[in-house]
């Protein structure tokens, strides 16, 4: 069943506390949308809502972390990373605090809320920070796993969560390491490396291409920092050409991280698909199609790259 990655947030925090972890959450007036509200209902003394004050959210979370707790923050991605970037940099990262930045509603699949609410720069903002780990899960099960990894690994994390329900890729109970990339479909002609919502679209494109005799490998690059270098290099080496696809700016995102790695350790042609400007209002499906980030567009780009 299709479920949004944001649905994993509140539910997983509840399970973590049930299991004995000292977890708290701080939100900025968006508890219903981020699902931290469900966590607050289960554990009222473990949720702090600071109102529309994202900088304060990071300050409160940092203070709670200094008392020995593991603290998660909510909000929408555009506000939960952008409005409080300096506080994340100078308080969370510089002091290596156990604060996990987990906003929801990232990317253009936020939909009708439009450009102001569609975070397309957040991965770049977070991956540049010293000590920050960046995870972009592709479905509900991997979002649960990413939140668990963040909760059980000391130090700052950014977990990018979305609004749109996504197809199931992993089974319930799926687990992963901090540095995680996974070949979800074997191939040899080209490696399509995707993250988040684009993994499902890459798989659908690969199925379409297979009918035409094109054997595309699909790699879920969930961990953008640190990269799973071994998996990425092995796939690039086998296929000889890489196409990266992300619901984020091509500048500083997953595609940039992969290109940086391969330019140094496995030079192959790398083409990046993603956003180059702001989004606009529309349904998630309409926007992915309009900006050339759905399965049909991915398949078309592969044909172009392979001269088919």
Residues 192-226 have pLDDT tens digits of 999 999 999 999 999 999 999 999 999 999 999 99
Question: What distances in angstroms separate CA 302 from CA 53, 90, 122, 182, 299, one per listed residue?
Answer: 44, 42, 27, 20, 5
First-last CA distance in the chain: 35
For residue 302, pLDDT beyond 90: yes
pLDDT of residue 267: 98
How does residue 1 score in pLDDT terms, banded at 50, 70 and 90?
confident
pLDDT of residue 98: 98
pLDDT of residue 158: 98
For residue 289, pLDDT beyond 90: yes
pLDDT of residue 305: 97
DSSP strand pairing (223-225 vs 133-135)? antiparallel
Average pLDDT, stretch 92-105?
Answer: 97
For residue 128, pLDDT beyond 90: yes
Question: What distances in angstroms separate CA 160 from CA 73, 84, 166, 203, one per listed residue?
Answer: 12, 16, 14, 20
Average pLDDT, stretch 167-179?
Answer: 95
For residue 116, pLDDT beyond 90: yes
pLDDT of residue 308: 79
Q: What is the pTM of this model?
A: 0.96
The pLDDT > 90 percentage for the chain reads 99
Residues 132/93, Cβ–Cβ less than 8 Å: yes
Query: Tokens in use for 38?
Result: 């469900």
pLDDT of residue 152: 96
Mean of pLDDT over the chain: 97
Establish whether 54 is a catalytic residue. yes
- Locate tokens 């005799």: which residue? 213
Count of all residues that appear for the chain in the document = 308
Q: Could you tell me the sign of the dihedral formed by the alpha carbons of 155, 89, 4, 196, in that order?
A: negative
User: Which residue of the set 11, 19, 54, 286 is catalytic?
Assistant: 54
- Which domains does the chain carry? 7-159 (3.40.50.970), 182-305 (3.40.50.920)
Half-sphere exposure of 269 (CA within 13 A, CB side): 9
For residue 137, pLDDT beyond 90: yes
Residues 3-49: pLDDT tens digits?
A: 999 999 999 999 999 999 999 999 999 999 999 999 999 999 999 99
Half-sphere exposure of 45 (CA within 13 A, CB side): 2
Neighbour count for residue 245 (Cβ, 10 Å):
32
pLDDT of residue 101: 98
């Amino acid at each position: 069943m299709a479920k949004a990655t944001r649905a994993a947030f509140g539910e997983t925090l509840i399970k973590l506390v049930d299991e004995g972890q000292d977890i708290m959450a701080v939100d900025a007036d968006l508890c219903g949308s981020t699902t931290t509200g469900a966590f607050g209902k289960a554990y009222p003394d473990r949720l702090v809502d600071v109102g529309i004050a994202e900088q304060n959210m990071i300050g409160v979370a940092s203070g709670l972390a200094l008392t020995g707790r593991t603290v998660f923050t909510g909000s929408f991605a555009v506000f939960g990373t952008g409005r409080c970037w300096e506080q994340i940099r100078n308080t969370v990262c510089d002091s290596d605090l156990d604060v996990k930045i987990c906003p929801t509603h990232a990317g253009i699949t936020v939909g009708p809320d439009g450009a102001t609410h569609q975070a397309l720069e957040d991965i770049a903002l977070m991956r540049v920070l010293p000590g920050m780990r960046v995870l972009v899960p592709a479905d509900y099960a991997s979002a649960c796993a990413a939140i668990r990894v963040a909760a059980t690994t000391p130090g700052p994390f950014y977990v990018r969560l979305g609004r749109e329900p996504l197809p199931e890729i992993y089974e319930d109970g799926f687990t992963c390491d901090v540095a995680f990339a996974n070949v979800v479909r074997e191939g040899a002609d080209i490696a399509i490396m995707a993250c988040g919502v684009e993994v499902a679209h890459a798989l659908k494109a690969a199925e379409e291409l297979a009918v035409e005799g094109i054997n595309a490998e699909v790699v879920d690059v969930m961990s953008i920092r640190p990269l799973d270098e071994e998996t990425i290099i092995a796939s690039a080496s086998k296929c000889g050409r890489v196409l990266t696809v992300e619901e984020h700016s091509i500048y500083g995102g997953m595609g940039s991280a992969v290109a940086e790695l391969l330019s140094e350790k496995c030079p192959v042609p790398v083409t990046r698909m993603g956003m180059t400007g702001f989004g606009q209002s529309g349904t998630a499906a309409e926007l992915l199609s309009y900006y050339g980030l759905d399965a049909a567009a991915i398949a078309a780009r592969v044909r172009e790259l392979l001269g088919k």
